[in-house]
Amino acid sequence: MKISNITKSVLGCAFSLFLTMQGIYGNDTPAFTLIGDFPTIGPLPPVTIPPNNPQTAAKVELGKKLYFDPRLSGNNWISCATCHNPVLGFTDGLPRMLGGPASKEGGRNSPTIINSAYNEFQFWDGRAATLEEQALGPIQNPNEMFETLDNVVKKLSGIPGYVKAFKEVFGTGVTADGIAKAIAAFERTIVFANSPFDRYMLGDENAMSESVKRGMNLFNGKAECIKCHNGTNFTDNKFHNIGVPADGPLKEDLGRYNVTKMEADKGAFKTPTLRNITETGPYMHNGFFPTLFEVVQFYNGGGGRSENKSPDIHGLNLTGQEVNDLIEFMKALTGELVQIKYDAVSLPYPTLPMDF
């Protein structure tokens, strides 16, 4: 009795292993073939709204004005949208940002703010946790908007539209705290979903081509991308060193180490989301790779060279067809703005009325 139970379970294991192999290598393309116990990829849940910054239509509208307003910068030229531009996937399309009074090249790539509401950490090195905490950083950064908070508050307090809006939304005059909260509320509406992948996962069999389905199986299996790009926003919200070569004005960027001072974090950067990845190149913390093809070839060849490289980055032996399928899968992650329709997307630089 005992033996036959063991036999059964051994057979069962062998059978499921067989099914798994079929899934990865066979012609059949089942919905999922996981290589391990990682949070599954799938449609996004609703955004979590922090209790101390409830979402209201008026607050979002104010945040949108602030987001597009260059008067938040020292020379009244640079807005958040300069570097996180809706028509460029909420990035600047450059390898590394240009900022400050002389438009100097910085060391890092401007990440997209699409779905940043889901980030557990903000910035490539995760030095801010919340969108509220993040928002005042670029205004004061001498290499970005080079303005002081006192001066921004003073400038905006002289504009009747802002005075009225702050009164309405927060019951106060213009404050730095209100600026941060309103911008964060606006960013929480920049949620992109309903991609072919999402539609497929919700039951639309025809939303993904055979190549995309093969790509998804590679992503979850042979190519091991799921080890880090997992969960509904395709990120584990952790930091890894994958060996991206140095490029740009910085000789070396220690990444997460700057925050934790732990050896293990040297050269580690936040796993970025892969949603809308077709729109947000160039790729990596320093914009080293212009195309997704180069990114996949980089992983296929075992990543870059670094003493501190993650053990999960190694040669993948993907064929040309498999590289292509993986790219097709990433293309199927591009969705549309779903939560609230804002003309911000069709109008990258809305003109501010005279009293704003």
- Residues belonging to the active site: 144
Q: Is 331 in the site for ligand HEC (CB under 6 A)?
A: no
Binding mask 214-253 for ligand HEC (x = CB under 6 A): ---------xxx-xxx----------x-x-x---------
Nearest to 245 by CA among 294, 295, 288: 288
Residues 6+ apart with CB under 8 A from 213: 29
Q: How many residues bind ligand HEC (CB under 6 A)?
A: 53
Q: Is 190 in the site for ligand HEC (CB under 6 A)?
A: no
Q: Is 135 in the site for ligand HEC (CB under 6 A)?
A: yes
Q: What is the dihedral of CA 146, 182, 348, 340, to 10 degrees?
A: 160
The CA-CA-CA angle for residues 268, 273, 279, to 5°, reads 115
Distances (CA, A) of 95 to 39, 62, 240, 285, 324: 30, 30, 20, 9, 23
Which CB, 12 or 245, lies closer to ligand HEC?
245
Q: Is 139 in the site for ligand HEC (CB under 6 A)?
A: yes
Which CB, 41 or 83, lies closer to ligand HEC?
83
On the CB side of 290, CA atoms within 13 Å amount to 0
Place of tokens 């008026």: 58
Q: Which of 23, 74, 215, 272 binds ligand HEC (CB under 6 A)?
A: 272
Nearest to 285 by CA among 302, 298, 268: 268
Q: Is 80 in the site for ligand HEC (CB under 6 A)?
A: yes
The answer to whether 140 and 148 have CB atoms below 8 angstroms apart is yes
Q: Is 191 in the site for ligand HEC (CB under 6 A)?
A: no
Q: Which of 119, 220, 230, 334 binds ligand HEC (CB under 6 A)?
A: 119
Q: Is 344 in the site for ligand HEC (CB under 6 A)?
A: no
Q: Give the H/E segment covering residue 14.
A: helix 2-25
Q: What is the DSSP letter of 337?
A: E
- State the CB neighbour count (10 A cutoff) for residue 27: 7
The answer to whether 240 and 271 have CB atoms below 8 angstroms apart is yes
Task: Show contacts with ligand HEC in window 9-38 (CB under 6 A).
Answer: none
Shortest distance, CB of residue 226 to ligand HEC, whole angstroms? Answer: 8
Which CB, 16 or 103, lies closer to ligand HEC?
103
Task: Show contacts with ligand HEC in window 81-110 (CB under 6 A).
Answer: 82-84, 97, 99, 106, 108, 110
> What residue ranges bind ligand HEC (CB under 6 A)?
72, 78, 80, 82-84, 97, 99, 106, 108, 110-111, 113, 116, 119, 122-125, 131, 134-135, 138-139, 144-145, 183, 223-225, 227-229, 240, 242, 244, 269, 271-272, 274, 277, 280, 283-285, 292, 295-296, 299, 310, 312-313, 326
